[in-house]
Chain A
Amino acid sequence: MSKDGGGVFGRGEEFLKLFSRGAQFTKELMHENEKLRRQLVHVRMTQDSAAQNPDDWEKLRCELMGRIESLEVERDSALERLREVECENHDFATRYVEIEEENNALANLYVASFQLHSTLDLSEVLKIILEIVINLIGAETFAVYVVDEKTSRLEAVASEGEPLSHFPAVPTGSGIIGSCVTTGDTWCGDASGSDDMERPIACIPLRVEDQSLGAIAIYRLLQQKERFTPLDHELFTLLAGHAATAIFSSRLFANSERKLNTIQGFIDLLTK
């Protein structure tokens, strides 16, 4: 093939390529045109269906107003429910705090009761009473008085904050401590503290059934404790019964041990 013939074929191919690109471009334009035409038809149809006359507009407006109203009702009901839930939540939070306090109180009462009945040794019982009054009630100065059966006077047998000798013996029925023991009623006054050993700020009688065993007289609370709490009053009630029972039991046990030793001594003497 000649050189000129090759050039003609080359140009012919180029022309064909150009032509086919032009055809492709025209096809795309046609396609785009069709797409735009469809969109135009859709917009026209939407316009036509939206409002062909004032009645349609009114109908549409009514529908929308109805929808707004129903949404507002829904919103009000949701807000009302939210308020109810918030209120319920607040009630639960309050109840939770109450239960926590109750749980705390029960733990204190359980531990106090458990410790008081954990021994039959009188000195241990007195030590536990001191621990309870210091650690659970928060008293700084106080004494445990026990009725001396021979003299019918209340003698301090254990104390904290001041030495035992600092607490005078008190006749039963006289003064705050004596009256408290006679009547069996807990006495609770101003928690600001007292230096008068005959005028405690609180006095808890120790009783087993109708028998008065003694009392716990509190004169001063710890620096950080400003007043008696409801839990303290529950502890007073617990101490009034359980501390008295613990003292009573430990005394009975000591007496029975002593008697047993005496009898054992006699038996040993007789059998030797």
Chain B
Amino acid sequence: MDKHRILIVEDSPTMRQLLAFALKRLKDVDIVEAQDGMDGLRKVTSDHFDLALIDINMPVMDGLKLVSLIRGEDSIKDMPIVVVTTEGAKEDRERALALGANEYLTKPIQANKVLSVARSLLKIG
């Protein structure tokens, strides 16, 4: 069986490590990290991913811009996206979901919540 490929787009190395740490508990996953929106866009357009976790506040290109670019690109528009952010306001959540994010997780994150969202979007038990 092919591995599930997950892209983590996050400028904070601490968060990248924590998210990767949590997601590695899923079986057969391959985790790739990107340190800002532009890096994320490069990686997502040049390789196949089954899921992307994207931070909102990032240098170079923010996460919401990346979400809208992904949804506008035919070849990757159906990829599930989880937005992971410090922004807890209702309007931020609605904006991200309106742009096409599948899930919206606020920091501080809980590893089991990340896992359950990833399992559900990757459709694994």
A: which residues have CB within 8 A of B? 100, 103-104, 107-108, 110-112, 114-115, 118, 128, 131-132, 134-138, 140, 222-225
Question: Contact size class for B?
Answer: 10 to 19
Q: Give, as a whole number of angstroms, the nearest-CB distance from A206 to chain B.
A: 18
Contact among A112, A115, A131, A224 for B106, CB-based, below 8 A? A224
Quick one: which of B15, B18, B106 has the most chain A CB within 10 A?
B18
Residues of A within 8 A of B21 (CB): 107, 110-111
Name the CB-closest residue of B to A128.
B14
Name the CB-closest residue of B to A138.
B108
Contact among A100, A103, A222 for B107, CB-based, below 8 A? A222
Q: How far is the CA of A82 from the CA of B77 in the complex (A)?
A: 50
A104 and B110 within 8 A (CB) = yes
**Beyond the given A137-B108, A222-B86, could you list 19 further A-B residue pairs with CB under 8 A, ordered by the A residue number?**
A103-B111, A104-B110, A111-B14, A111-B18, A131-B14, A131-B15, A134-B86, A134-B107, A135-B14, A135-B15, A135-B18, A135-B107, A135-B109, A136-B18, A138-B107, A222-B88, A223-B88, A224-B88, A225-B108
Given A111-B18, A111-B21, decide whether A222 and B106 contact each other with a Cβ distance below 8 A: yes
Residues of A within 8 A of B102 (CB): none
Q: How far is the CA of A242 from the CA of B110 in the complex (A)?
A: 22
B17 and A131 within 8 A (CB) = no
Given A135-B18, A223-B88, A224-B88, decide whether A107 and B106 contact each other with a Cβ distance below 8 A: no
Name the CB-closest residue of A to B22.
A107
Produce 1/0 per residue, B7-35, CB < 8 A to A.
Answer: 00000111101100110000000000000
Is B60 positioned at the interface, with any CB of A under 8 Å from its CB?
A: no
A131 and B18 within 8 A (CB) = no
Contact among A112, A138, A140 for B14, CB-based, below 8 A? A112
Residues of B within 8 A of A118 (CB): 13
Contact among B86, B89, B111 for A107, CB-based, below 8 A? B111
B86 and A111 within 8 A (CB) = no
